[in-house]
Structure 1
Amino acid sequence: MYTNYILVFIALVILFSSFVTVRQGTIAVVTIFGKYRRLLKPGLNMKIPLIEVIHSRVSIQNRSVELEFQAVTIDQANVYFKSMVLYSVNNPDEETIKNVAFKFINEQNFMQALIRTIEGTIRSFVASKKQSEVLSLRKDIVDHVKDQIDTVLESWGYHLQDLQINDITFDEVILTSMSRVVASNNLKAAAENEGQALLITKTKAAEADGNAIKIAANAEREAAQLRGQGIALFREEVAKGMTHAAKEMQTADLDTSVILFTMWTEAIKHFAENGNGNVIFLDGSSDGMKRTMEQMMSINVMDTITDKKKKS
């Protein structure tokens, strides 16, 4: 009776071991006595109990790993990288899955090879560049790694989906010197901008002063012309008035010297009002007044002739 129970137990174990569940996104690799046999797709599968063995389960989903390592530039500067690698199985084909399952002893060996390959590729690239160039070559580093790694990963059955360099840093001394260089460049640029602004300000001020001088000169010239025209008109009107007055007095049989005396007294009055305390010597004799008036009349006549010539 005990034998029957044992046989039933063994039958149940064999029956249940014949069913295999494979998770979504995973492919199971089956071997017989250590030799590759077939693949099991996601879902419920059957295998030969005690003979077929699940060698490994290969994930075809995207996987990521973070890297932190150091490189040295051509000018002996230490550069520290923090990056993220995104990779996956190249495709779910049978040959690819076999390659992934049997290329490395285990997953740890594959990860070690992947990390060291990426680090070595970046180090060799950085070793040919100067420290001042590294920060601006982030995209070039990524492109270089992808070009170098893709072929190697495909031979392992994998594909590099993405490589992101999240952080690039240097030693504290280098960071301090870089900050000083940036600060000095900013100060230089600020000084150049201030110099240009000052030059523009000075230029505009000089142009404004020049325009003001031109405007003042033009205004003074126009004012002088107007003053000259006013004096000419005044003299002309005075001459006309004196001529008319002389004719009227001759018609009335009066002495024209009264006109000279009146003008003489008006002139003395004007001198007294506007002389500002200055001493002015005048010839008060009748001959002196007559001579002065004749000179004024002759000057007026000459100005009148000159104005007529200019107008013609």
Structure 2
Amino acid sequence: MGPTQIILFILIFFAVVILVSSFVTIQQGTVGVVTIFGKYRRVLAPGLNFKIPLIEQIYNRISIQNRSVELEFQAVTVDQANVYFKAMLLYSVLDQQEETIKNVAFKFVDDRNLMQALIRTVEGSIRAFVATKKQADVLILRRDIVEHVKEQLDNILESWGYHLQDLQLNDITFDEVIMRSMSQVVASNNLKAAAENEGQALLITKTKGAEAEGNAIKIAAEAERQAAQLRGQGIALFRQEVAKGMTVAAKEMQQADMDTSVILFTMWTEAIKHFSENSKGNVIFLDGSADGMQRTMKEMMSLNQLNLDTLEKRGK
């Protein structure tokens, strides 16, 4: 091989190397940052790109996909209680504009320094917020903590070329002593609520029972009142019918020129017969003396006379 051939071979080799180095492939989900002699030149989109060989260099390949990082840190409340957080941070490049990509590429030396600044900023924001709250309020302020961190970090991260997608506080715990006391408070509150519920149930049961008993008494009293009324009406009707019967019998006996006192004597004997048949006793005491008989006959005659007077008034 002569000198001319060797030179030609070298030229072809360099031409191939230059041609190959003139094209670069950028993977999907990333962009390429090109510099010339160390100075920013332009951004390469995903796919096959042309660059000036030996002059333009790929300074960095930046992922525009979402990234996540887990955090574990401690904060202290205003009442000096230690709070332990476990969180998950989700962030990404703000957009694919040239200025944003320049910030992402040149703000930090490398990703390690970026992560350190990002984590310390999030922890500092949460610690500052928790330091103004009491231990008893921290658990119910989970959403407020997240909103506070996002509000504080949005401007800072945008100046770095990033955007905070989400912050999740997966676990919030306290010292063991505080956890035990919180469990005791919850248990005592549950016992108190159970006792109150049991008391309310007992009160409702007693109240319903009293209402039912009162209603039963009212119903029984009403039934007794109606029964008494019906009994009174029955007795009144009975007496009215007896009076009518006695009036008719007295008129007939008077027309037949008979002594109407026989009616009273008959009623008296019927009453004695009723007593003897329906009474539970074995002895009926009657005044059988002459004076008693005479007094009874006078009373019967008086009643008879009263009956006759009544009949005469009705006849008139």
Q: Same fold (TM over 0.5)?
A: yes
Note the residue ranges of structure 2 that are not aligned, 5 or more in a row: 309-316
Distance (whole Å) between structure 1 residues aligned to residue 307 and residue 214 of structure 2: 39
Could you report, residue by residue, the CA deviation over 1:19-76 in whole angstroms, capped at 9, with x for unpaired residues? 2111122221122222222222222222233332211111222222222222222223
Moved over 6 A (4+): 295-301
Match 1:289 to one of 280, 285, 296: 296
Q: Which residue in 2 is equivalent to 1:81?
A: 85
Match 1:260 to one of 251, 264, 277: 264
Q: Which residue in 2 is equivalent to 1:222?
A: 226
**Mapped pair 1:162 → 2:169:** no
Distance (whole Å) between structure 2 residues aligned to residue 197 and residue 72 of structure 1: 44
Match 1:49 to one of 43, 53, 56: 53
Distance (whole Å) between structure 2 residues aligned to residue 191 and residue 298 of structure 1: 80
Deviates more, 1:227-236 or 1:250-259: 250-259
Distance (whole Å) between structure 2 residues aligned to residue 202 and residue 69 of structure 1: 55
Query: TM-score scaled to structure 1, two decimals?
Result: 0.84
TM superposition shift of 1:5: 4.0
Give yes or no for contact 1:260–1:290 (8 Å, CA) kept in 2.
no
Deviates more, 1:201-210 or 1:100-109: 201-210
Match 1:71 to one of 52, 68, 75: 75
Aligned-pair RMSD on alpha carbons?
Answer: 2.7
Could you report, residue by residue, the CA deviation over 1:217-266 in whole angstroms, capped at 9, with x for unpaired residues? 33333333333333233233223323332333344344444433322221
Give yes or no for contact 1:66–1:84 (8 Å, CA) kept in 2.
yes
Q: What is the SS of the residue equivalent to 1:28?
A: strand
**1:33-44 residue pairs with structure 2 within 5 A?**
33-44=37-48
TM superposition shift of 1:129: 1.2
**Mapped pair 1:92 → 2:96:** yes
Q: What is the SS of the residue equivalent to 1:263?
A: helix
Give yes or no for contact 2:261–2:300 (8 Å, CA) kept in 1.
no
Could you report, residue by residue, the CA deviation over 1:125-167 in whole angstroms, capped at 9, with x for unpaired residues? 1121122211111111111001110111111111112222222
Distance (whole Å) between structure 2 residues aligned to residue 151 and residue 59 of structure 1: 21
Q: What is the SS of the residue equivalent to 2:133?
A: coil
Q: What is the SS of the residue equivalent to 2:132?
A: coil
Give yes or no for contact 2:76–2:82 (8 Å, CA) kept in 1.
yes
Could you report, residue by residue, the CA deviation over 1:97-125 in whole angstroms, capped at 9, with x for unpaired residues? 11111111111110111111111111111
Query: TM-score scaled to structure 2, two decimals?
Result: 0.83
Could you report, residue by residue, the CA deviation over 1:199-234 in whole angstroms, capped at 9, with x for unpaired residues? 333333333333333333333333333333332332
Q: Which amino acid aligns with 1:86?
A: L
Change (3 A) 1:126 1:61: same
Give yes or no for contact 2:107–2:160 (8 Å, CA) kept in 1.
yes
Match 1:145 to one of 145, 149, 164: 149
TM superposition shift of 1:196: 2.6
**1:190-269 residue pairs with structure 2 within 5 A?**
190-269=194-273
Q: Which residue in 1 is equivalent to 2:185?
A: 181
Give yes or no for contact 2:265–2:300 (8 Å, CA) kept in 1.
no
Change (3 A) 1:135 1:264: same
Deviates more, 1:242-251 or 1:47-56: 242-251
Change (3 A) 1:202 1:293: farther
**Mapped pair 1:29 → 2:30:** no
Distance (whole Å) between structure 2 residues aligned to residue 292 and residue 194 of structure 1: 73
Could you report, residue by residue, the CA deviation over 1:267-310 in whole angstroms, capped at 9, with x for unpaired residues? 11111122211654333454343345457679999xxxxxxxxx
Q: What is the SS of the residue equivalent to 1:74?
A: coil
Give yes or no for contact 1:239–1:297 (8 Å, CA) kept in 2.
no
Q: What is the SS of the residue equivalent to 1:128?
A: coil
